[in-house]
Structure 1
Amino acid sequence: MRRHATPGTDIMTNPIKAAEGPVVRILDDIQALAAARALAASFSKEASLRDRQRQLPLNELEQFSRSGLWGISVPRAYGGAGVSFATLAEVIATIAAADGSLGQIPQNHFYAVEILRVNGSETQKRFYFERILAGERFGNALAELGTRTSQERRTRLSKEGDGFRINGRKFYATGALYAHRIPVSVIDDDGVQQLAIVKRDAAGVNVIDDWSGFGQRTTGSGSVVLDNVWVEAEEVLPFQSAFERPTSLGPVAQLLHAAIDVGIARAALHDAAIFVRTRSRAWIDSKVERAIDDPLTVREFGDLAVRLAGAEALLELAGEAVDRAAAAPDIDSVAAASIAVAEARVLTTEISLAAGSKLFELAGTQATLSEHNLDRHWRNARTHTLHDPVRWKYHAVGNYYLNNKNPPRHGAI
């Protein structure tokens, strides 16, 4: 099924169904990486078309779900592969290199898995992990417009009998458009932030496709309106407390964003090289590759390749730091993981933007022709890297090394 989406559409007229067909059970990191590479080869074929026409990737997400990759971070004790966070980052980077939007859509799903791992009750873990392994996708409804800070929430969770009612409006709800369940950040009657996992088809849930970003066009990062939505007590778990004590939650979120940027940079550099080798002279329209002997062009590719290799190395080191923090969370390990991820995000931000921009310079105005649509890499990078300001990463890293001050614990560092 294809859908040419017009922003502002209420997607509830086309509800998301559970995964159709068997879901692969991935057993380890090696299988996860192999599955990601196989999917990436498939996803890359029509990535440009999906971006250009804003075709929602419903078929691709169904294939993605059935691959088993959405369950790879479920701990082994609950039937999952429990892959390392370094592996998870590489899986996301691999998919994002094929299609930046498809690389970002599961980011909040894996964030929800980590919240469940660190804050869920034993009953909640068994219940939700089983459904994730069966192919269910989690979206998100966390951020809100019009608040004083990015951390402030107004959506209310009000006690009613044995359960709760939710009222509020969310934006930047990446993945909600395609989700089976939507984790919603809410403020309870005591002013404490909790996380309610709302069924996608629950009465009063309205997912609106009003995302109109010029990049990452098919992430579905639109609005979610919650009108007196009922949730059971078992569908609510602590959220704020995951930042009041040292946990890996913040570094995990940022690690996945860094991986998305690495994937976008890989795609930009790859496509720039192919374009320059096949169309190196403006008056020749040939798809035959030729060696490039212009020293300036060769030098520019060398510069980008070195910077990308540096970003990839820092991403891997950051993943290993998050693994250590997840295994033994304390003030020091979580701070070290946050700083390692911040260092990676600085370079991944810079290389994704630089690679996309350099593509314009090397390929010329032909890059923006609809036939090639190579400008999507820069548009994707420019849009995604605005998720949270990289300038604060420098500040956090400097404070850590210069003043021995640990970074704050929240989802943006």
Structure 2
Amino acid sequence: MSAIPQNTATRPGSTHSDGSSEKALAHIIRDDAEAIASAHEVAARLAVHASERDRERRLPREEIDWFSQAGLWAITVPKEYGGAGVSYVTLTEVIKIIAAADPSLAQLPQNHLGLVDVIALTGTHEQKQFFFGEILRGKRFGNGFSEKGTKHVLDLKTRVTAEDGEYVVHGTKFYSTGALFAHYVPILGLDDERRGWLAYIPAGTAGLQVIDDWSGFGQRTTASGTVIADQVRVAASHVFPAFRVSDQPTLNGPISQVIQAAIDAGIGRAAVDDTLKFVRERSRPWIDSGVERASDDPLVIREVGHLHIQLHAAEALLERAARTLDAIATQGHAPSEDDIARASVAVGEAKVLTTEIALLASEKLFELAGTQSTLAAHNLDRHWRNARTHTLHDPVRWKYHLVGNYYLNGIKPARHPWN
């Protein structure tokens, strides 16, 4: 039976015509094999109109319901709380499969999955029971992390202040991927001691505003725009000590980064696949090649071989990084600083190659496919626009530095969500 519900859940804040709330439940995925199978099924459905959504910047309101209601946003919920607790190898494969179909859709659960890990790492038993239950029912997290106009990504102006047994959140965020489609908008802010706290704010809360003002030329349907929290009051049960995931050795940073790498690997795979299709079906051979078909041109063949070697190398390092995370997560004791450093470096190595293949493949597509491939009707430039936009999240030049400094000088990477 299909894992994609035929009656999708209503979006946040919506109700039936009689005023009652939507009660549809998401499918619950039980194991790794089902997660991979469901990802292929969902990806096939998402791919059908992916180019149109990008061209028209049509926000995927219906499609994101297919995606989360299929259970794929809940696959990292621990088994003891009713989830599949899939491996990181499976998680990265799921994201890669979705990204090859539509990288904007693949980016939407990236922060959600990192936030699931924050709950697992810092939540009380009661908080875990509540929020993991919400996730299993198909609820989605957006994000309110980054801010514009500050010195760097951790120079936050947003404040989370304890007051009368609750918390008050005040600040403005940008790059808020997924917030427009979220049931909860987790906002990161600092307390008076400049420690980071995450407040998981229900959509529709008084003082919370999500603005669709994302104008990036790539990842166009992520709605990664502005979130404003104007003195928003949040129950203490919805606030988590985010500072602990970096103050202590945890896998939260490497998990966030390996998902980013999987998105880029999916973009690279899609660009390579479209290159092959176009060269086989539409491209003309160069006049000096002496062949009848572009696919028989020896120089084109050589470049296609190079693309596949680079793609397979990136995918291999991605899998190696995920296996490193799995080994650390299942070793039976809390990870050490050395464990987290090893994980960050493994993920950093993968991030370098997934970044490079996403950019290389999406640019080589036009060189190999020829002038006709630039026509707007094909919309093939979306691959490069998506790759260039998404790979800017954390500069790959610093991944080279991270890896080199570790092997040469024994310097452990800084612990934060970008390592």
Aligned to 1:89: 92
- Report deviation, 1:291: 7.2
The one-letter code sitting in structure 2 at the alignment partner of 1:325 is: I
Aligned to 2:52: 49
Question: For each residue in 1:78-107, what CA deviation from the matched residue of structure 2 results, as whole angstroms up to 9, or x when unmatched?
Answer: 000000011101100000000010111110
Aligned to 1:220: 223
Aligned to 2:269: 266
Aligned to 1:275: 278
From the superposition, tell whether residues 102 and 157 of structure 1 become closer, same or farther in structure 2 (CA, over 3 Å). Answer: same
The two structures, once aligned, show a CA RMSD in angstroms of 1.8
1:319 aligns with 2:318: no
Aligned to 1:404: 410
Aligned to 2:396: 390
Aligned to 2:344: 338
1:12-23 to structure 2, matched below 5 A, reads 15=13, 21-23=24-26
Whole-angstrom CA distance in 2 between matches of 1:352 and 1:228: 41
Whole-angstrom CA distance in 1 between matches of 2:222 and 2:410: 38
Question: For each residue in 1:175-220, what CA deviation from the matched residue of structure 2 results, as whole angstroms up to 9, or x when unmatched?
Answer: 1011000111011133211111111110111100110010000011
Higher mean displacement: 66-75 or 114-123: 114-123
Question: For each residue in 1:291-330, what CA deviation from the matched residue of structure 2 results, as whole angstroms up to 9, or x when unmatched?
Answer: 7110000111100000000000000110111122333411
Question: For each residue in 1:231-264, what CA deviation from the matched residue of structure 2 results, as whole angstroms up to 9, or x when unmatched?
Answer: 0111111111210110000000000000000000
- Report deviation, 1:15: 4.7
The one-letter code sitting in structure 2 at the alignment partner of 1:403 is: N
Task: Indicate the SS of the match to 1:378.
Answer: helix
1:329 aligns with 2:371: no
Task: Indicate the SS of the match to 2:296.
Answer: coil
- Report deviation, 1:110: 0.2
Task: Indicate the SS of the match to 1:292.
Answer: helix
Task: Indicate the SS of the match to 1:55.
Answer: coil
1:370 aligns with 2:376: yes
1:123 aligns with 2:126: yes
- Report deviation, 1:282: 8.1
Mapped contact 1:16–1:179 kept (Cα < 8 A): no
Runs of 4+ more than 3 Å apart: 13-22
Mapped contact 2:249–2:336 kept (Cα < 8 A): yes
Percent identity between the aligned chains?
A: 54
1:209 aligns with 2:209: no
The one-letter code sitting in structure 2 at the alignment partner of 1:334 is: I
Structure 2 unaligned blocks of 5 or more: 1-10, 16-20, 287-291
Task: Indicate the SS of the match to 2:351.
Answer: helix
Mapped contact 1:275–1:363 kept (Cα < 8 A): yes
Higher mean displacement: 364-373 or 155-164: 364-373
The one-letter code sitting in structure 1 at the alignment partner of 2:345 is: I
- Report deviation, 1:46: 0.4
- Report deviation, 1:364: 2.5
1:119-268 to structure 2, matched below 5 A, reads 119-268=122-271
Whole-angstrom CA distance in 2 between matches of 1:315 and 1:238: 30
Normalized against structure 1, the TM-score is what?
0.93
The one-letter code sitting in structure 1 at the alignment partner of 2:341 is: A
Whole-angstrom CA distance in 2 between matches of 1:20 and 1:335: 43
Mapped contact 2:261–2:355 kept (Cα < 8 A): yes
Whole-angstrom CA distance in 2 between matches of 1:198 and 1:23: 21
1:353 aligns with 2:353: no
Aligned to 2:31: 28
Task: Indicate the SS of the match to 1:203.
Answer: coil
Whole-angstrom CA distance in 1 between matches of 2:247 and 2:110: 22
Mapped contact 2:283–2:294 kept (Cα < 8 A): no
Whole-angstrom CA distance in 2 between matches of 1:268 and 1:126: 41
Whole-angstrom CA distance in 2 between matches of 1:14 and 1:222: 17
From the superposition, tell whether residues 171 and 25 of structure 1 become closer, same or farther in structure 2 (CA, over 3 Å). Answer: same
Aligned to 1:4: none
Whole-angstrom CA distance in 2 between matches of 1:101 and 1:376: 11
Mapped contact 1:19–1:66 kept (Cα < 8 A): no
Whole-angstrom CA distance in 1 between matches of 2:14 and 2:350: 35
Mapped contact 2:12–2:182 kept (Cα < 8 A): no
From the superposition, tell whether residues 19 and 402 of structure 1 become closer, same or farther in structure 2 (CA, over 3 Å). Answer: farther
- Report deviation, 1:115: 0.7
From the superposition, tell whether residues 20 and 58 of structure 1 become closer, same or farther in structure 2 (CA, over 3 Å). Answer: farther
Normalized against structure 2, the TM-score is what?
0.92
Aligned to 2:40: 37
Aligned to 1:106: 109
Whole-angstrom CA distance in 2 between matches of 1:277 and 1:19: 48
The one-letter code sitting in structure 1 at the alignment partner of 2:395 is: P
From the superposition, tell whether residues 99 and 337 of structure 1 become closer, same or farther in structure 2 (CA, over 3 Å). Answer: same
The one-letter code sitting in structure 2 at the alignment partner of 1:211 is: W
Count of residue correspondences: 396
Structure 1 unaligned blocks of 5 or more: 1-12, 284-288
Task: Indicate the SS of the match to 2:49.
Answer: helix
Whole-angstrom CA distance in 2 between matches of 1:16 and 1:300: 51
Task: Indicate the SS of the match to 2:198.
Answer: strand
- Report deviation, 1:55: 0.6
Mapped contact 1:214–1:383 kept (Cα < 8 A): yes
